Amino acid sequence: MNAGFGWVAVAALGVTLSVTLRATDAGPQQAPAQPPVIEGHGGPPPPGAQQPAPPATPAQGQPQTPRPGGPGGGQGRFPAQQRPKGDPDVIQRGRGIFAGACGACHGADARGGQLGGPNLLRSQLALNDKAGELMYPVIKHGRPGTTMPPSPLPDEDIRAVIAFVHDLQGKIGGQGDPPPGEEVELNILVGNAKAGEAYFAARCASCHSASGDLKGIASRAPTPKALQNLWVSGGRAIARGQGAMRPVGAGPRAVTTATITTATGEQVSGTLVRLDDFTVTVALPDGGQRTFRRVGDVPKVEVKDPLAGHRELLTVLTDADMHNVTAYLVTLK
């Protein structure tokens, strides 16, 4: 009984081995299953789908046609590059208005100017503006608490300035590159020197003198543009390229100072670093800083800003007055 069962088990094992060997020799071994490929995510198209034609290669020596939109191609990578194209005549007019009314603060190329205005190619407010709904109120009414004054420009001129800024932003590169093209040197000597001399006598002579601190100022500035930037900013020009270099022989930069008198009578004076409704901070001569908490008028803060007159002038200075004064100052050699 046991011997018979053993022979049956051996026979069954032989049949199993035979079947396994024959199945192995029946054909080539199949590759292991691959993970599924989702169409449109880097995998091949499904069976039977038409293969896309390879992109045409331009003939040798033929220039490639640039893609529309921003420098990144397509419709433009950023919202500022996806606005409808503006009227070229309005943009050109806005360019001239911007150079005269806004260039001192924001620079002629909108990348920041002599009075410390922000770079409009990177300004979130300007980049998010679609049709002037964000920029117009700021230009028209200014920003209280900042150096951005209200603009006396007519509405149509403000709209032209916005169109010009939009056009610049539509040409910027992915990393905030400046607009393409060569720099254009503007001829700003278009004013009347006699009218400029009269304006200087009425508005500037209380602090400056043509035979005193401004004697020979035209020979100290490298270009008329640098001279204009210099006097409009009150000498607080930040070097941004050769055309905006600080004149040789110019005095020390004007700084705003503050004297703080505490409730106990202590007085602290230094260069003003920060002043708001809650704190005031001054830089001390030894390099340190002190910050005082403000509650109403305590402590008492007296600010001396040597450029206050120039800041106030920005709110009333017209293009004609600016060009006239520049035409007069270039004669002071």
What phi, psi does 68 have (nearest 5°)? -70, 170
220 and 325 together in one domain: yes
Rounded-to-integer distance, Cα 97 and Cα 93, Å: 6
Considering the domain architecture, whether residues 113 and 127 belong to the same structural domain is answered as: yes
Question: Can you tell me the mean pLDDT for 265-291?
Answer: 94
Kindly give, in sequence order, each residue whose CB lies less than 8 Å from that of residue 139, ignoring residues fewer than 6 positions away.
151, 153, 158, 161, 162
Other CB atoms closer than 10 Å to residue 114's CB: what's the count?
24
Residue 301: inside a domain = yes
Q: Residue 73: is its pLDDT beyond 80?
A: no
Contact 267, 149 (CB under 8 A): no
pLDDT in tens, 78-137: 566 678 888 999 999 999 999 888 888 888 888 887 777 888 888 888 888 888 899 999
Domain membership of residue 214 (yes or no) is yes
Grade residue 69 by pLDDT with cuts at 50, 70 and 90.
very low
CA-to-CA dists, residue 33 to 19, 30, 36, 37, 43, angstroms: 24, 9, 9, 12, 15
CATH of the domain at 133: 1.10.760.10
Q: Is residue 243 part of a domain?
A: yes
Residue 163 near residue 93, CB atoms below 8 Å: no
Same domain for 208 and 265?
A: no
How high is the pLDDT of residue 16? 45
269 and 222 assigned to the same domain: no
Residues 229 and 318 in one domain: yes
Average pLDDT for residues 229-245, to the nearest whole number? 60
pTM of the full predicted structure? 0.43
In a domain, 39, yes or no: no
Residues 268 and 295 in one domain: yes
Asked if the model's pLDDT at residue 319 lies above 60, the reply is yes
Average pLDDT, stretch 236-240? 46
Range in 80-94, 192-206, 234-248 the model is least confident about: 234-248
Question: How many separate domains does the chain show?
Answer: 3
Do 83 and 156 reside in the same domain of the chain? Answer: yes
Instruction: Please report, to the nearest 10 degrees, the dihedral formed by the alpha carbons of residues 10, 11, 14, 19 taken in order.
Output: -140
Residue 35 domain-assigned (yes or no): no
Residues 224 and 324 in one domain: yes
Band of the pLDDT at 180, cuts 50, 70, 90?
A: low
34 in any annotated domain:
no
Give mean pLDDT, residues 251-258.
77
Assess whether 105 and 231 both reside in one domain.
no
> Hey, what amino acid is at 297?
D
Is there a domain that residue 159 lies in?
A: yes
Give the model confidence (pLDDT) of 202-230 as tens digits: 999 998 999 998 999 999 888 898 899 88
User: Is the same domain home to 241 and 261?
Assistant: no
Q: Is residue 216 in some structural domain?
A: yes
SS3 content of the chain, % helix, strand, coil (to 5): 35, 10, 55
pLDDT for 128 equals 87
CATH of the domain at 280: 2.30.30
Which whole number is the average pLDDT over 266-271? 95
pLDDT bin (cut points 50, 70, 90) of residue 240 is very low
Say yes or no: 242 and 276 in one domain: no
Tell me what percent of the residues of the chain surpass a pLDDT of 70: 67
- Residue 64, token pair as written in the block: 């490639």
**Least confident segment among 56-70, 135-149, 284-298:** 56-70
Same domain, 230 and 318: yes
Which structural domain, as residue segments, surrounds residue 105?
Answer: 79-169
